[in-house]
Structure 1
Amino acid sequence: MDITFEKVGYSYSAGTPFESRALYDVNLNIPDGSYTALIGHTGSGKSTVTQHLNALLKPTEGSVLIGDRIITNKSNNKNLKDLRKKVGIVFQFPESQLFEETIAKDIAFGPMNFGVSEADAMAIVKRVLPLVGLDESFMDRSPFDLSGGQMRRVAIAGVLAMEPEVLVLDEPTAGLDPAGRREIMNMFYQLHIDKGLTIVLVTHQMNDVATYADHVVILEKGTVVRMGPPAEIFKDAAWLQQKQLGLPSALAFLDTFSQKTGIDFGNERPLRTEQLAAVLIAKINENKGSKNAAKEEGGNHVG
């Protein structure tokens, strides 16, 4: 399910003395089946864009096409329930939204709210628990007896229980340690691959953008300033520096290494650690080959 913004503008408290412009002339496309990263500084409009993805907010100007539904400022809220089932949002610290006495009831709440029977909802619970690395033994436990990481997985399972086509992740690893971050991000990527979920990731973590995303949208002061694949976006380090946006650690290391050693890596722009290792090994072997050739040539002259 594609999502397309066409000339979208949005103002909070529109038409009042407290009106605050958050978005203007936003044009972007999130292709079906893509893993799209939304990046930009605090206040750039990321959260406001996110809330337009399932019509939690409706544009003040322009339109948002979500699948075959066109959302404008005149769209009727009563007809948006099914749409919100198709686009699930995992907000920061989703575990703070847990409230039921058991994990099974918490996960089943969403489907039952949409009219699914209790028996069918429990079948859904059993189906989604393994997707977040938990098993049926957790069903009757209180979510509040779990670790923070496990609570977050339960909250994510509650979103997956709605069987969305698009999963929006708003800084999903906030507050987690590095190991927990990797586990959660790998879990989402596996869902993207295995279930064909369209993923929209809102993040400040450039390593996550480089590792997982295939499409990047950069927002600044409420509008889109650049879009493209990660390799294209991170090619222009000077532009990113001007915008005070970081580089993936592999690319930042290569640029620093090149400046300190004077070694020219040409157009090589590795985004991930394994790519960086391959580039460095190739350059080392190339230099060794050049040195050996120079030695052989020198020896021939002596002879």
Structure 2
Amino acid sequence: MDITFDHVSYTYQAGTPFAGEGLQDISVTIHDGSYTAIIGHTGSGKSTLLQHLNALLKPTSGTVTIGDRQITSETSNKNLKPLRQQVGMVFQFAENQLFEQTVARDIAFGPKNFGVPEAKANALAEQMVTLVGLPASVLSQSPFDLSGGQMRRVAIAGVLAMQPSVLVLDEPTAGLDPAGRRDMMQLFAKLHREQHLTVVLVTHQMDDVADYADHVLVMDHGRLVKTGTPREIFADPVWLTANQLGLPKTTQMAMALQRRGFKFAELPLTTSALAAALLPQLPVKAGERDE
């Protein structure tokens, strides 16, 4: 399911003295099956763009086409449920959305609210808790008795139980330690790979963009200023700095190594690419090459 923005602008509190531009003339397509990262400094319009992906916000002008459904400023809120079932949203600190007495009831709540019979909703809860890497034993527990990382997985399981086609992630690793962040990002990569979900990720972590995304949108003051692959986006460090963006840590390390005499045909973005480029340049002890 493609999502296409056609000259979309959005004004907060339009028609009032407090009006402010949230998006300005955005035209872009997020393709079915892609893993798209949206980056930009704070206040650049990332979250505003995100909320148009399932009509939580509707454009002031222009059109957002989600699958076969067109959303304009005139679109009624009536009958948007199927669309919001197709596009699952995971917000920052998603665990704050938990409210039920048990994990099973929390995960099953969304499907039941969309008319799924209770038995099927409970079966979905069992499937999804396993899918996000939690033991089945947590289903009978209160979500508030779990660790922060486990609570976030429960919240994600609740979104996945809706069986969306698109998974939208707004800073999903905020507040997690490095190990928790790595585990969470690997979970999303697995869902993208094995469940064939379209993934849209808003992040400040350039390493995650390099490691997982195949398409990048760069936002600045409500405008879409650049699109491309991670390789294309990270090819110009001067431009990135001017737009208050950084490079992946691996690329920064490679640039430091360049200044010490190491050579790279192109600057590596990931640790595996850096290791592959460095290996032929490292000194070898006598006899090692023959072993």
TM-score, normalised relative to structure 1: 0.92
Counterpart contact for 2:216–2:233, Cα < 8 Å: yes
Q: 3-state SS of the aligned residue for 1:77? A: coil
* Residue identity in the other structure for 2:275: A
* Residue identity in the other structure for 1:159: V
Q: Does 1:227 align with 2:224?
A: no
Please name the residue that 1:87 is paired with: 87
In structure 1, distance between residues paired with 2:35 and 2:134: 24
In structure 1, distance between residues paired with 2:242 and 2:261: 23
* Residues 148-195 of structure 1, C-alpha deviations (whole Å, 9 max, x = no match): 111111000000010000000000000000000011110110000000
In structure 1, distance between residues paired with 2:194 and 2:62: 34
* Residues 240-297 of structure 1, C-alpha deviations (whole Å, 9 max, x = no match): 12212110111111112212x24443x3221101110111122347x99xxxxxxxxx
Q: Which structure 1 residue ranges, 5 or more long, are not aligned?
A: 289-303
Q: Aligned to 1:276, which of 274, 278, 282?
A: 274
Aligned-pair distance for 1:19? 1.0
Q: Which structure 2 residue ranges, 5 or more long, are not aligned?
A: 286-291
Please name the residue that 2:7 is paired with: 7
TM-score, normalised relative to structure 2: 0.95
Give aligned-pair identity as a percent.
Answer: 61
Q: Does 1:253 align with 2:216?
A: no
Counterpart contact for 1:103–1:142, Cα < 8 Å: yes
Please name the residue that 1:188 is paired with: 188
In structure 1, distance between residues paired with 2:262 and 2:133: 45
In structure 2, distance between residues paired with 1:201 and 1:124: 24
Q: Does 1:169 align with 2:169?
A: yes
In structure 2, distance between residues paired with 1:160 and 1:70: 24
Counterpart contact for 1:3–1:53, Cα < 8 Å: yes
Please name the residue that 2:288 is paired with: none
Aligned-pair distance for 1:120? 1.0
User: Structure 1: which 4+ aligned runs deviate by more than 2 Å?
Assistant: 262-265, 282-285
Counterpart contact for 1:268–1:279, Cα < 8 Å: no
In structure 1, distance between residues paired with 2:267 and 2:54: 35
* Residues 97-120 of structure 1, C-alpha deviations (whole Å, 9 max, x = no match): 110001111111101111111111
Larger helix proportion of the pair? 1
In structure 2, distance between residues paired with 1:158 and 1:148: 16
In structure 2, distance between residues paired with 1:88 and 1:21: 26
Aligned-pair distance for 1:216? 0.4
* Residue identity in the other structure for 2:273: Q
Please name the residue that 2:100 is paired with: 100
* Residue identity in the other structure for 1:95: E
Q: Does 1:202 align with 2:202?
A: yes
In structure 1, distance between residues paired with 2:281 and 2:2: 41
Q: 3-state SS of the aligned residue for 2:29? A: strand
In structure 1, distance between residues paired with 2:243 and 2:184: 29
| Number of residue-to-residue matches in the alignment | 285
* Residue identity in the other structure for 1:40: G
Q: 3-state SS of the aligned residue for 2:15? A: coil
Please name the residue that 1:69 is paired with: 69
Please name the residue that 2:42 is paired with: 42
Q: 3-state SS of the aligned residue for 2:227? A: strand
Please name the residue that 2:27 is paired with: 27
CA RMSD across the alignment: 1.3
* Residue identity in the other structure for 2:281: K
Q: 3-state SS of the aligned residue for 1:252? A: helix
In structure 2, distance between residues paired with 1:188 and 1:230: 18
User: What are the equivalent positions in structure 2 for 1:93-172 lying under 5 Å apart?
Assistant: 93-172=93-172
Larger radius of gyration: 1
Q: 3-state SS of the aligned residue for 1:244? A: coil
* Residue identity in the other structure for 1:232: E
In structure 2, distance between residues paired with 1:27 and 1:238: 25
In structure 2, distance between residues paired with 1:232 and 1:62: 28
